[in-house]
A and B are shown apart, each in its own frame.
Chain A
Amino acid sequence: MTVAQRKPLISSGTSHRPTVKKIAMTSVVAVIAIAFLIPFYWLLVSSLREPQRIFADAGQFFPSSLTLQNFRTVFNETPVVSWFANSVILTVGSTVGSLVVVTMAAYALAQIRFPFRNTIFVSILASQMLPFHLLLIPLFLLMIQLNLIDTHLGVIVPMLAHPFGLFYMRQYMLGLPQAVFDAARVDGASDYRIFFRIVLPMVKPALATLAIIFALEQWNDLLWPLIVMRSEGNYPLSVGMTTLVGLYRPRWDLVIAVAVIAVVPIMLMFVLLRKQFINGLGQFGTGTK
């Protein structure tokens, strides 16, 4: 499933010079693309305005003066460095954890025959259809009972069993050449050996795709960390921003600076791994969490 570049309409093959139609259509698309870029520009430019100009100049395309004042303030007045570190910890922790758990389970479901295999698989998959809000209160109470409130583990652990991740990895493993596994078994290799020596190297592309999806989901998530994390020093960036907006007098100068800090790492990753991002997310129902 890749984003194919095939043209749906027969290419006339007569001339390669851009036609009027082509120029017109491309211009229309370009205008839409520019409109989609404006919010990014606006975020950046607003972060560089003086605090009192942020809303006063909210309609000014070009700022009268630029300043890094907001970034200085955010470093002085908020634990934004801790927030960033927490976002990194949560993202790395939940990504690595999910990959381990999902890959192991996918191997069992793809390669080993055992009783109730399909029943287990289908019921796990069906749970993807559970809206997350339904789990909110029971999980909150569970975290209290497990003493995991206000801890990184409390944010990470309940989300590790990712049903669609399991589905994706299982499908990928089913697509591997069966002959390799049969040969290894004939040679007397155990399942443990097969898993580490054969399967893991072969599923690297799937691991990369899932890593991008898990990481992006966790980096951007608000609802669950908002409930688990109680003390300011434990917030990830998303929760930090939300509390700054939620103040009696919202501190937009700080909010916007944090928003820039939250967006830049993802944009850098996207520049490096554009294809993987688009193909990976294109295979997933994202935003269902």
Chain B
Amino acid sequence: MATDTTHADARSGTSPRGRKPKRPFLHRPAVVAMVFLLPFLVLYVVFRVYAVGYAVVLSFQEIQGIGSSEWTGLDNYQRVLTDRTGFTALRNTMLYTIGTLLVLIPVPFVLAAILRSRWVARQSMFRSILFLPVLTSLVVVGVVFSLLLSTNGLLNGFLGLFGVPAQAWLETRHLAIPAMIIMATWRWTGINIIYFTTGLSNIPNELYESAAVDGAGPIRQFWHLSVPLSKPIILFVTVLTIFGGFQLFVEPLVLWGSGGGPGQGGLSAVVHLYRTAFTSFDLGYASAIGVVLAAIIMVFSLIMLKAFGFFAKDR
């Protein structure tokens, strides 16, 4: 690497950082740091810190048109507690999150393990194929699955081979969430396989070798080595899945607009917020929904971290 030794005045700079008192203003460490940090910091303070504060402030107000607002105390939060549509949206979102957790942790984990075992040829090709859906936008996912899940669509055709009667996946209230879990399975399995593969490849080979010497077969090696030693990465993927699940928005919006689908069975919490804010223009109340939802996400993530003993270690 070119270190530019043209003015090799090595004696003059005895210590690498900021101990010389007479530096020009723009070269003082704190000033240099600010110059480099400033663009990010300004954007961060305005569009993150200030915006969050603003969201909390708005949640205590009623907004009538842009620019005129009135303090209403806890009224918006009281409304959240009696918002039946809101509860439907929250229940749907939780069901979706739990459903995606039940599928998107075990399935990619097992696939990751299989995909690096000696029984599978062309491993990286298969990993790439399963990864492809990760690249598609959620809008496209919604569009494609509108076709695949239509009443005379491919999924019903496939299930028909096993004698399962055709389902109106996108027009039945209690099938809206399962339909979106099917979509999530296609969309996210590939990336979770990559996470788990990384985790699994960090387990020392010697452990498997000594387990094999002790007579443990592949299944036992999987349960007693791969699973417990992947705990950190499973925790990581779990938190990501919870975080993503609660933010469900694009798929229901594409499938059903902001109406929430059949009997509001596909109404997610963020769609409810979006509708309240940008269809009804009830910005204060929508902000309260946002704050409550953020709190719920935080609590769920913390519960998960606690359940995995994340706080037991000093990290």
Q: Give A contacts to B, CB under 8 Å.
A: 1-11, 18-19, 21-22, 24-26, 29-30, 32-33, 36-40, 42-43, 46, 54-56, 58-59, 61, 100-102, 104-105, 107-109, 112-115, 117, 120, 124, 127, 129-142, 144, 157-161, 163, 166, 180-193, 195, 197-198, 201-202, 216, 219-223, 227, 238, 241-242, 245-246, 252, 255-256, 259, 262-263, 266-267, 270, 274, 277-278, 281-282, 285-288
Interface residue B154 (Cβ < 8 Å from any Cβ of A): yes
Given A120-B41, A136-B290, A285 and B194 contact (CB-CB distance below 8 Å): no
Which of B52-60, B72-80, B171-179 is near enough to bind chain A? B52-60
Q: What CA separation (Å) do A272 and B212 show in the bound complex?
A: 40
- Of B122, B130, B240, which contacts A285 at CB under 8 A? B240
Residues of A within 8 A of B221 (CB): 8-9
Is B153 in contact with A187, judged by CB distance below 8 angstroms? no
Interface residue B13 (Cβ < 8 Å from any Cβ of A): yes
Residues of A within 8 A of B4 (CB): 184, 187, 189, 193, 197
Given A9-B212, A9-B218, A59-B156, A187 and B17 contact (CB-CB distance below 8 Å): no
Interface residue B283 (Cβ < 8 Å from any Cβ of A): yes
Known contacts A144-B66, A160-B43, A245-B146; 15 additional CB pairs below 8 A are A25-B120, A29-B120, A36-B130, A38-B148, A140-B277, A183-B3, A186-B10, A187-B5, A220-B138, A222-B249, A241-B143, A242-B139, A270-B132, A278-B131, A281-B134
List B108-136 residues whose CB lies under 8 Å from chain A: 111, 113-124, 126-136
Number of A-B contacts (CB under 8 A): 355
Is A55 in contact with B150, judged by CB distance below 8 angstroms? yes
Q: Which residue of B is nearest A34, CB measured? A: B129
Is B16 in contact with A181, judged by CB distance below 8 angstroms? yes
Q: Give B contacts to A, CB under 8 Å.
A: 1-5, 7-10, 12-13, 16-18, 27, 29-30, 32-34, 36-37, 39-41, 43-44, 46-52, 54-55, 58, 66, 111, 113-124, 126-148, 150, 152-154, 156-157, 186, 188-191, 194-195, 197-198, 200-201, 203, 205, 208-209, 212, 218, 221, 226, 236, 240, 243-244, 246-247, 249-250, 253-254, 257, 270, 273-274, 277-278, 283, 286-287, 290-291, 293-294, 297-298, 301
- Of A1, A190, A222, A270, which contacts B27 at CB under 8 A? A190
Q: What CA separation (Å) do A191 and B24 show in the bound complex?
A: 13
Chain B nearest CB: distance from A44 CB in Å? 10
Given A133-B270, A186-B10, A188-B13, A139 and B191 contact (CB-CB distance below 8 Å): no
Q: What CA separation (Å) do A26 and B123 show in the bound complex?
A: 9
Q: Which residue of B is nearest A160, CB measured? A: B43
Q: Determine chain A's interface SS by DSSP, over half rule.
A: helix
Residues of A within 8 A of B121 (CB): 18, 22, 26
Is A278 in contact with B43, judged by CB distance below 8 angstroms? no
Chain B nearest CB: distance from A106 CB in Å? 9
Q: Determine chain B's interface SS by DSSP, over half rule.
A: helix
| A to B CB contacts below 8 Å, 26 in the list | A3-B127, A4-B198, A26-B122, A36-B129, A39-B133, A43-B143, A43-B144, A105-B39, A105-B40, A109-B37, A112-B36, A113-B18, A124-B44, A129-B243, A136-B290, A137-B283, A161-B43, A184-B4, A186-B16, A188-B13, A191-B32, A197-B4, A216-B135, A241-B254, A242-B253, A286-B191
Given A161-B48, A266-B135, A287-B244, A282 and B122 contact (CB-CB distance below 8 Å): no
Is B36 in contact with A108, judged by CB distance below 8 angstroms? yes
Q: What CA separation (Å) do A10 and B218 show in the bound complex?
A: 10
Q: What CA separation (Å) do A142 and B298 show in the bound complex?
A: 25
Given A112-B33, A131-B294, A138 and B43 contact (CB-CB distance below 8 Å): no
Chain B nearest CB: distance from A7 CB in Å? 5
Is A198 in contact with B134, judged by CB distance below 8 angstroms? no
Residues of B within 8 A of A129 (CB): 243, 298, 301
Is A55 in contact with B9, judged by CB distance below 8 angstroms? no
Q: What CA separation (Å) do A286 and B240 show in the bound complex?
A: 8
Q: What CA separation (Å) do A24 and B113 show in the bound complex?
A: 16
Residues of A within 8 A of B54 (CB): 138, 141-142
Residues of B within 8 A of A101 (CB): 39-40, 43
Is A33 in contact with B129, judged by CB distance below 8 angstroms? yes
Q: What CA separation (Å) do A104 and B44 show in the bound complex?
A: 14
Residues of B within 8 A of A117 (CB): 33
Given A42-B154, A157-B43, A286-B191, A26 and B119 contact (CB-CB distance below 8 Å): yes
- Of B1, B17, B273, which contacts A136 at CB under 8 A? B273
Given A26-B121, A242-B254, A288-B243, A37 and B36 contact (CB-CB distance below 8 Å): no
Q: What CA separation (Å) do A189 and B16 show in the bound complex?
A: 10
- Of B36, B49, B297, which contacts A105 at CB under 8 A? B36
Chain B nearest CB: distance from A178 CB in Å? 9
Is B150 in contact with A58, judged by CB distance below 8 angstroms? yes
Residues of A within 8 A of B286 (CB): 137
